[in-house]
Structure formats: C-alpha cells, structure tokens
Amino acid sequence: MLARRDRMEPARADELNRRLWEQMERYQQLWSGMPVYTYISYRREADTRRLVRELWKRGIPVAAPRTEDGRMEFYRIRSESDLTAGYRGIPEPVCGCEKAEEERALVIVPGAVFDLQGYRIGYGGGYYDRFMAREPGHETMGLAYDFQVVPRLPVEEYDLPVGKILTTSGLLP
C-alpha cells in the first residue's frame, strides 16, 4: 500500500488531495473550535498542511507529534517555523514548543491502510496506539485516500481503532 501511495504521479496526488480537502471542508468537527492534534504530511501522505494553515487562520489550536525515547507527545505549533525535519525527514515541532495537554482534542491519525472497523496499519512504531491508550478521551480520525481502505485487517491485542476515517469519498463509518 505504501509503494502504491508513494508511486502516485504528482498530478494524481494533487487531485486526490483536492478531493480530500473538499471532504475536510464538510466535516464540521474540524471547524468546531476543538483543538486538533495532527501529523504533518510527508511525501505522498494524505495532505494535512492545507488543513493546518486553515485551522491557524480560524484561530483553532493545532498540535503536531514529536517522538522522544520511544514516546510520542503533541506540541502546539503556531506557524511553519515551529516545524523541523525529524527522524527520516518527517516534520515535527521544534524543541521549545509548548506541550499540548488538552483533555479533549480531535486527533488525526496517519496510516498506510485502514479497515472499515477503524483499525489501521501504520508505520510500525505503535506510537499512535500507545498515545490513544494513554489518552482515551480524544476523538480520533484517520485520514486516507479511498484506495487505502480495505474491508478487514489483521488485528493485534494492542491495536486500537480510530473513531472515524475521512477519505476522498467521505466519512466512514
């Protein structure tokens, strides 16, 4: 699935991200004012950068993940200058950003593939599953292109599903 996503032509990725953005605009939970914790898209991941810029414009708090010593935490970001290239060049908050500690936020979760029950296969570190287990009060939403959603995935005991998946065709389930 990652190979298929990463092989997309730039024009195709732009088209899918345009369609995904149209779905994001319709999803009222994003615009409710609740803080949003989101990954910052990298390479051909479902794009979050436009979303982050729009959230900033609307004054909605945004936080992005940074991993340290095997643990993922979210830190508030207020501009592009709050981001730096981290592990493998993945954008993450610079040191000095304020730790995000909301009791309730909408957490946008990346994944290589999702299933219709909300389970996902990520990138192998288990960071999001551990975060969701540690902070279960947050709403969670996967962000994916339609081809990244399959009927069912194998599930391990520590895997946690996301509450919803927003795709280029709409909201699941």
68 among the known binding-site residues?
no
Confidence (pTM):
0.94
Is-contact 91 84, C-beta < 8 A? yes
Cα distance between residue 111 and residue 68, in whole Å: 20
Output phi, psi for 129, to 5 deg. Answer: -60, -45
96 among the known binding-site residues?
no
37 among the known binding-site residues?
no
Tokens of 56: 């900033």
Cα distance between residue 104 and residue 170, in whole Å: 24
CATH assignment at residue 105: 3.40.50.10420
123 among the known binding-site residues?
yes
The whole domain housing 7 covers: 1-172
Q: So what's the pLDDT on residue 52?
A: 98
119 among the known binding-site residues?
no
Using one digit for the tens of pLDDT, what is the confidence trace for 35-68? 999 999 998 999 999 999 999 999 999 999 999 8
Using one digit for the tens of pLDDT, what is the confidence trace for 13-33? 999 999 999 999 999 999 999
Residue length of the chain: 173
44 among the known binding-site residues?
no
pLDDT at residue 93 above 90?
yes
102 among the known binding-site residues?
no
120 among the known binding-site residues?
yes
Structural domains of the chain, count: 1
45 among the known binding-site residues?
yes
